[in-house]
Structure 1
Amino acid sequence: MQGFLNLNKPVGFTSHDCVAKVRKLVRLKRVGHAGTLDPAATGVLPIALGKATRLLQYLQQDKAYRGTIRLGVRTTTDDLEGEIISTQPVPGLTLEQVKAALKNFEGKIQQVPPNYSAIQVEGKRLYDKARAGEIIEVPAREVEVYKLEILEWRDRDFPELDIAIACGPGTYIRAIARDLGSACATGGTLAALTRTESSGFQIADSLTFEELEEQLKQGTFHPILASAALGHLPAVTLQATDAKAWCQGQRIPFRPLSFPALTDAEEGKLRLNDEEGRFLGIGCLLASETGYLLVPLMVFEPL
């Protein structure tokens, strides 16, 4: 069995827990995941099965979330899983004030990751350093928020804001909650989070553990094909002779009449298929004296 699973991660599971459970259910050793989710978060967790684990690096990087931010509260982890640092009711805070502050969180922004995160500093995970009581100075890094939409505002002593966020890789929604609280001079923490999209997988198409287990029992579970999961990459179809040479790791002359037009393909990755539409691997174009060569980056037997 090889391909991808669009898992709807339940609350309370780490991403590693999910991989371990899927490994047991599908009876495979080679299982991996893309895009870590915190234990308190739910939603889309892309899982790779079998040889598809080699393809995780080529999946789309953009993500989307629905989250709830609680204002007037600060915690050690920037979500409700951590210890409370301070609480201060803010009944006078208005939605208009919050809207004005949120404008600073769209586009390319500088963000300091939470101290309790999986980022490595000096060879150690930040959460390990934080748990050991080390004083951590985490440098800010640039992330991008494509869209930030207010879904609901609940006006109370500790106001709550439901938001939808579409963002690039490396964006921490907990950090947005924390920094929004700072911008409003109230403190803020993430109260709930669901990932609605990751690596091109949508929550509407995801499977819970219970649904996966039932499909496996019924024999109706079919992994998502690599060609579908990598559909964002330009596709090149190899004729039989070239496909055979490709599967042997050979470079293939790029003949414009044999392949579809590829815009700026020499700068990116390509998805290779045979004439039957079966996935053969990932490659790129390399300039040569006589034109271009298709160079294998990762070769697969037909999937």
Structure 2
Amino acid sequence: MGRKRKGRAVSGWLVVDKPAGITSTSVVNKVRWAFDAAKAGHAGTLDPAATGVLAVALGEATKTVPYITDALKCYRFVVTFGAATTTDDAEGTVIATSDARPTDDAITAALTAFRGEIMQTPPQFSAVKVDGERAYDLAREGEDFELAARPLWVESLELTARPDADHAELEMVCGKGGYVRSIARDLGAALGCLGHVQWLRRTWSGPFDAAQGISLETLDALAKTETLDAYLHPLEKGLADLPELPCTPEGAARLKNGNPGMVIASTAEYGDEAWASYQGRAVAVGIYKAGELHPSRVFND
């Protein structure tokens, strides 16, 4: 028999406005401690130096993490021209420099190649696994290795400000697995001037916005109190990109037992992934087929 996990059976999403200097895992651990939650996870890692939206799921909401991970996300960031670094950001060691500086028009023109479906190579200092090892561990040990390029959907990428010749502020909306540091590195290479990320901030992730974010200071101040629960968003918010299918009482009972259950017709088409609700609460996620939802994940009260 497995050991029962300790903690409250609290469920929902907490939007944290992550400060620089702390890992995403450390934030999740702090949230779990503050709520005394039995289970917690996050959707979309932010680098320690990055700030902004880190959506943390508690309890049953962890079953909706994949849908936030796959959702579009928005980043604001500044690229510093004239230097390449080991980490592709300001935290790394400078490994090459250039006196060239691009014009605004050159930047705008170059950004075209970074929109739509692109192939992106992750930074050497990243959590990508190479033969079972994390790339950042191999990079720290001075190992020589190559990372394979992978597809990334970039919905938009725009130049939003040019503070001076050495810097450009950009905004990018992209899908799962995007590395802002790779964009800065590759943009600098394309412009012939080198580049790295000076700073970056995730302003929204799926349905969650930085304006909703709680600071770590507030989290600490309200830890272990009922007041903190008021900051939770319902787990249903993690399903915002899927069609909702209200179900009958009988359908809800069947779905909770892991069986196909009858749902009321909606905009979902045969074969679509959707979620069933009863009295506004999520019952299950699954595939819609001929008036029924075939569950793949079931939510417990």
How does the TM-score come out when normalised to structure 1?
A: 0.90
For residues 194-229 of structure 1, the C-alpha deviation after alignment (integer angstroms, 9 at most, x for no partner) is: 001113211111111123344554625332111122
The one-letter amino acid of 1:89's match is: D
Partner SS state of residue 99, structure 1? helix
Shift of 1:107: 1.3
For residues 260-303 of structure 1, the C-alpha deviation after alignment (integer angstroms, 9 at most, x for no partner) is: 3334351x3211111x21111212134xxxx464211111124x
Looking at structure 2, the residues matched to 153 and 147 of structure 1 have their Cα atoms a distance apart, in angstroms, of 18
Looking at structure 1, the residues matched to 206 and 298 of structure 2 have their Cα atoms a distance apart, in angstroms, of 21
The one-letter amino acid of 2:229's match is: F
Looking at structure 1, the residues matched to 92 and 270 of structure 2 have their Cα atoms a distance apart, in angstroms, of 46
Q: Is the aligned partner of 1:283 residue 2:286? A: yes
Looking at structure 1, the residues matched to 168 and 270 of structure 2 have their Cα atoms a distance apart, in angstroms, of 42
Out of 209, 230, 236, the residue aligned to residue 216 of structure 2 is 209
Q: Is the aligned partner of 1:84 residue 2:88? A: no
Q: What are the residue-to-residue correspondences of 1:121-160 with 2, within 5 Å?
A: 121-156=130-165, 159-160=166-167
Distance 1:45 1:282, change over 3 A: same
Looking at structure 2, the residues matched to 28 and 71 of structure 1 have their Cα atoms a distance apart, in angstroms, of 44
Q: Is the aligned partner of 1:221 residue 2:229? A: yes
Partner SS state of residue 13, structure 1? coil
Contact 2:61 2:238 in 1 (8 A): no
Shift of 1:113: 0.8
RMSD: 1.8
The one-letter amino acid of 1:219's match is: T
Contact 1:46 1:199 in 2 (8 A): no
Looking at structure 2, the residues matched to 188 and 272 of structure 1 have their Cα atoms a distance apart, in angstroms, of 47
Distance 1:84 1:147, change over 3 A: same
Looking at structure 2, the residues matched to 299 and 263 of structure 1 have their Cα atoms a distance apart, in angstroms, of 19
Contact 2:11 2:58 in 1 (8 A): yes
Contact 1:234 1:265 in 2 (8 A): no
User: Any stretches of 5+ residues in structure 1 without a counterpart?
Assistant: none
Contact 1:270 1:282 in 2 (8 A): yes
Looking at structure 2, the residues matched to 270 and 71 of structure 1 have their Cα atoms a distance apart, in angstroms, of 45
Looking at structure 2, the residues matched to 220 and 3 of structure 1 have their Cα atoms a distance apart, in angstroms, of 12
Out of 199, 202, 212, the residue aligned to residue 195 of structure 1 is 202
Shift of 1:88: 2.9
- Once the two structures are overlaid, the 10-residue window that deviates more, 224-233 or 65-74, is 224-233
Shift of 1:123: 1.6
The one-letter amino acid of 2:94's match is: I
Partner SS state of residue 212, structure 1? helix
Q: What are the residue-to-residue correspondences of 1:26-175 with 2, within 5 Å?
A: 26-59=35-68, 60-90=70-100, 93-156=102-165, 159-175=166-182
Shift of 1:71: 0.5
Shift of 1:249: 1.6
Looking at structure 2, the residues matched to 58 and 163 of structure 1 have their Cα atoms a distance apart, in angstroms, of 26
Looking at structure 2, the residues matched to 145 and 36 of structure 1 have their Cα atoms a distance apart, in angstroms, of 18
* Equivalent position of 2:29 in the other structure: 20
Contact 2:248 2:264 in 1 (8 A): no
Contact 2:77 2:171 in 1 (8 A): yes
Looking at structure 1, the residues matched to 111 and 254 of structure 2 have their Cα atoms a distance apart, in angstroms, of 54
* Equivalent position of 1:260 in the other structure: 265
How does the TM-score come out when normalised to structure 2?
A: 0.90
How many residue pairs get aligned? The number is 289
Contact 2:256 2:299 in 1 (8 A): yes
Looking at structure 2, the residues matched to 221 and 161 of structure 1 have their Cα atoms a distance apart, in angstroms, of 40
Indicate the percent of aligned positions where both proteins have the same amino acid.
36
Partner SS state of residue 192, structure 1? strand
Distance 1:265 1:126, change over 3 A: farther
User: Any stretches of 5+ residues in structure 2 without a counterpart?
Assistant: 1-9
* Equivalent position of 1:184 in the other structure: 191
The one-letter amino acid of 2:283's match is: L
Looking at structure 1, the residues matched to 99 and 164 of structure 2 have their Cα atoms a distance apart, in angstroms, of 11
